[in-house]
Amino acid sequence: MKDHKKMYGIYLRAGLLSSLVIFIILFILVPYAQPLPYELKHEVITMVEDISAYIDKYEEPPPAERPKVVAPAENIGDENVVETIPETEFTENPIRTRPIGPEIEIVPYYKVEVKPQPVVQAKPRYPDLVRRAGIEGQTVVKALVDIDGSIMDVQVLKSSGNQMLDEAALAAARSWRFSPAKQRDKYVRVYVSIPINFKLVEIGS
C-alpha cells in the first residue's frame, strides 16, 4: 500500500506541471479573436459657431503740447526787486469746543465731593391750553450736568401726568445752569434731579 503522505510532494509537483502543460496547449490551439471596433448607437452632431470679434476704432486724443521753455531772464540787481506780497503775521485763534470723550467721567450724585449748585433757574412756560383747563402738576427732570455747568441731556424722571407739562419742563431744564461738580480735584459730569412745578395762581390772592 502506498504512503500518500510521503507521495504528497510528488503529487504537488506533478499537478503543477500538468496544469502548466494544459495552459500552454490551450494558448497555442485556441485562435485569437480580433475585437470589433466600437460603434456609436446614436449619431452625434457637432455644431461649431463662428464668433468674430470686432474692435471699435477710437479716435486717439491729440498729443499734449509740451510746455514752452522759458528763456532765462537777465540778471537784475537787488535794488530793482519789487516785493509783490507783503509780509503778514498769522495768529492762531482756535475755537474752543466742549470737551467730549470717555476721559470725562460720569459720577453718581452721592459720590461727588463737590455737588453742583444751580446758578440759573429758568422758569417753565405754562402751556395756555393746559392753564385754561386748570391742570396743575409737577414734573421731575433728570438732567446731565457737564463740566462747564451746562445741561447736556434731559429726561423725564417722574411725569406730571400731562405730556404738554412734561415737554415744557424739559424745555425749561435745558436752560438751567449749574456750578461744575468736582471729584478728587477733577471736573466730572453728574446727573441731577430738577423738580418743576406747574401751579395756577388765583388773581387777588
pLDDT digits (tens, 9 = 90+) for 10-32: 878 888 888 888 888 888 887 77
- Cell numbers of 1, please? 500500500
Cα dist. 185→180, 182, 193, 196, 199 in Å?
11, 6, 23, 31, 40
Residue 91 has pLDDT above 80, yes or no: no
Instruction: Categorize the per-residue pLDDT at 51 as very low, low, confident or very high, splitting at 50, 70 and 90.
Output: very low
Q: Which domains does the chain have, with CATH numbers?
A: 109-198 (3.30.2420.10)
**pLDDT greater at residue 36 or residue 177:** 177
**pLDDT greater at residue 100 or residue 186:** 186
3-state secondary structure of 9: helix
Beta bridge partners of 198: 137
CA distance 195 to 156: 10
CA distance 5 to 57: 99
The rounded mean pLDDT for the chain is 76
Residue 92 has pLDDT above 50, yes or no: no
Q: Which of 2-11, 21-30, 43-52 has the lowest mean pLDDT?
A: 43-52
Residue 185 has pLDDT above 50, yes or no: yes
Separation of CA 73 from chain center? 58
Query: What is the per-residue DSSP string for 81-144?
Result: ----S--------PPP----STTS-B--GGG-SB---EEE-PPPPPPHHHHHTT--EEEEEEEE
Q: What percent of the chain has pLDDT above 70? A: 61
103-143: pLDDT as tens digits: 688 989 988 999 999 999 999 999 999 999 999 999 999 99
| Among 140, 129, 128, CA closest to 191 | 140
pLDDT of residue 129: 93
pLDDT of residue 48: 45
